[in-house]
Amino acid sequence: MTNQFKYFLGAIGTIPLLPIMYVQGKRIRAKVPSLPEATGNEGITNPNQTPNYQLITIGESTVAGVGVKTHAEGFSGTLANELAHKLDKNIRWKVYAKSGITAKRVPTELIPLITEKQANLIVIGLGANDAFEGNSPNTWRKGIEKTLDELRKKFPLVPIAFANMPPIKEFPAFTPLIKQTIGSLVEIHGQELEKLIVDQPNVFYNSEILWIKDWLKGELANKTIHDFFSDGVHPSKLTYQAWARDFANFIAPKLNL
C-alpha cells in the first residue's frame, strides 16, 4: 500500500469527524499562546579551536526556536555544542527558519536567504505544518525533492540530514482525535521521506519516532510530559536540548571527517 493510498483512506475516514475537529481546533488555537521565534540566529562554539566547521539549520518553528528565548539554548545552538564536542571542531552555526513554513515553501522562502558559500553539514527540520495543512504525501515529497535540488545547487557534496518528524501524538494541547489524525499523517510523511532519500547520496534521515517517555529516565525521571513543552505544542528548552543531543548521536558517526 502506497503512502498516497494510505492518505486517501485516512482522509475518507476523517470526513465524518471534520466538524468535531474544526471545533476542537478552534479551542486549541484559542488556548495556545502565540510565542515568538528565538533571537540570535547564528553563533560559534569553541572559538579558540580549529578548524572551522559550518553548520546550517533550516526549517519550521522548532528550528526557529519557538519556545525558548535564544537559539543558543534551542535545537541549533545545542546541536552545534554537541557536535563540537563529538567532532573536536570549532563550529559556526546559522539558522534559516520560519514559523508556519511547509516543505513546498522552503526552496523559495528560505534557501535564497542563505549567504554562506561553503558548509559542512545542513540539518533540516520540517513536517508539522505539512501535517497541520493536511498536505498529501505527494505534495510533501515534491516539496522535499525541490528543497534538495535547490540545496544541491549551492552545496553539491555537503551532507544533508533531516531531523525526526515532530511527535504530534505527544502534544499535550491536542485532543486524542487530533493527535491520532494529524499524528498519523506526519508519520506517513516520515515514511515517504525515508523512501525518498534511499537513492540520495549523502542525505540522511533520523526516522526514529520521538517519545517523551524515552527521555523520562535518569536525571529527567522527576519531570512530567508538560515539562517538555513550552505551550503544549512547541518544545521547551528541556526538549530542544534532549532532541539535539539525540540527533548529534545519530549524525556524528555518519560524517566522513
What is the per-residue pLDDT across 39-98, written as a single tens digit (0 to 9) for each? Answer: 999 999 976 666 689 999 999 999 999 999 999 999 999 999 999 999 988 999 999 999
Percentage of residues in the chain having pLDDT higher than 90: 74
Q: Report pLDDT digits (tens) over 120-160.
A: 999 999 999 999 999 999 999 999 999 999 999 999 999 99
User: In one letter, which amino acid is 42?
Assistant: E
- Per-residue pLDDT, averaged over 192-199, amounts to 95
The pLDDT confidence band at residue 218, using thresholds 50, 70 and 90, is confident
Residue 221's pLDDT is what?
82
Q: What is the pLDDT of residue 82?
A: 95
Does pLDDT of 257 surpass 70? no
Give pTM, 2 decimals.
0.93
CATH topology of domain 3-254: Rossmann fold (3.40.50)
243 three-class SS:
helix
What is the pLDDT confidence band of residue 3, given thresholds at 50, 70 and 90? confident
For 69, 75, 173, 246, the CA distances from 237, given in Å and listed in that order, are 9, 8, 17, 14
Residues 6+ apart with CB under 8 A from 9: none
pLDDT at 15 over 80: no
Phi, psi of 125 (to 5 degrees): -125, 105
26 pLDDT above the threshold of 70? yes
pLDDT at residue 166 is higher than 90: yes
Q: What is the pLDDT of residue 28?
A: 83
Residues 6+ apart with CB under 8 A from 33: 231
For the four alpha carbons of 121, 144, 114 and 60, in that order, the dihedral sign comes to: negative
Look at 167 and 220; give whichever has higher pLDDT: 167
| pLDDT for the residue numbered 215 | 84
Whether the bond between 51 and the residue before it is cis, its omega within 30 degrees of 0, is yes
Sheet holding 160-162, edge to edge: 42-44, 90-97, 52-59, 121-125, 160-162, 203-205
| Amino acid 49: pLDDT | 64
Place of cell 542525505: 203
Which residues have a Cβ under 8 Å from the Cβ of 121 and sit 6 or more positions away? 53, 54, 55, 56, 83, 158, 159, 161, 251, 255
For residue 5, what pLDDT band results from cuts at 50, 70 and 90?
confident
* pLDDT at 47 (0 to 100): 64
What's the confidence (pLDDT) of residue 51? 66
